[in-house]
Chain A
Amino acid sequence: KQEVTQIPAALSVPEGENLVLNCSFTDSAIYNLQWFRQDPGKGLTSLLLIQSSQREQTSGRLNASLDKSSGRSTLYIAASQPGDSATYLCAVSGAGNMLTFGGGTRLMVKP
């Protein structure tokens, strides 16, 4: 059974810092990995999707990498802003497009 772990569980940084969120998974037989953002009480917003054949994806200040063989992904956020404060979830896609989510990293960016 696929297990997804995110470290750290919570992170507080001053505005302007670059930061890295980590995600690891136990079964490397994945189709893709997605990073989502979730604001309190809200739904999920897809940030980046990396197909299993890809190594990284970039969108604005966000860069996600994938090392499928070692079961790891990182989400790099450059020049963090208070508006980046949210919970960040990674999810891996298995057969049948079933997503398995990690526990999330709660990010607080202080002005």
Chain B
Amino acid sequence: DTEVTQTPKHLVMGMTNKKSLKCEQHMGHRAMYWYKQKAKKPPELMFVYSYEKLSINESVPSRFSPECPNSSLLNLHLHALQPEDSALYLCASSLGGPSGSGETQYFGPGTRLLVL
């Protein structure tokens, strides 16, 4: 099973709402990632988790709050978002070996978020 799943597929939320995005993999991977992709732009890294610990935060605003409850699950909690946060949010995972570099990342289908 080389699948990364993401729910929901689509999400519409107001600026005062609180919502969460969910990502799951059962490949035994220990590194998981959140990317943000605006329309017609490449994905941009937001967060990296390694062995359930946050290892990289690419200066993401605090209205985005990641959480890794266990090695298979990665959440992204959203609060007080702005319309410019509307984008495709992609989750990925990789093996998470000792060096953590040079590994294939497997991407999920993404959650398309619209903030009104």
CB distance from A105 to the nearest CB of B (A): 11
Q: Are A101 and B102 in contact (CB under 8 A)?
A: no
Interface size class for chain A? 20 to 34
* Interface segment out of the listed A41-49, A58-66, A74-82: A41-49
> Which residue of B has the minimal Cβ distance to A93?
B102
Residue numbers of A with Cβ under 8 A of B are 31-32, 34, 36, 41-46, 49, 51-52, 89, 91, 93-99, 101-104
Checking A49, A89, A94 against B101 with a beta-carbon cut-off of 8 angstroms, the contacting residue is A94
Count: A-B pairs, CB below 8 Å: 62
Interface size on B, residues (CB 8 A): 26
In angstroms, Cα B107 to Cα A97, docked, is: 14
Q: A42-B110, A46-B104, A52-B102 are in contact. Are A96 and B55 (CB under 8 A)?
A: yes
Checking B90, B106, B110 against A46 with a beta-carbon cut-off of 8 angstroms, the contacting residue is B106
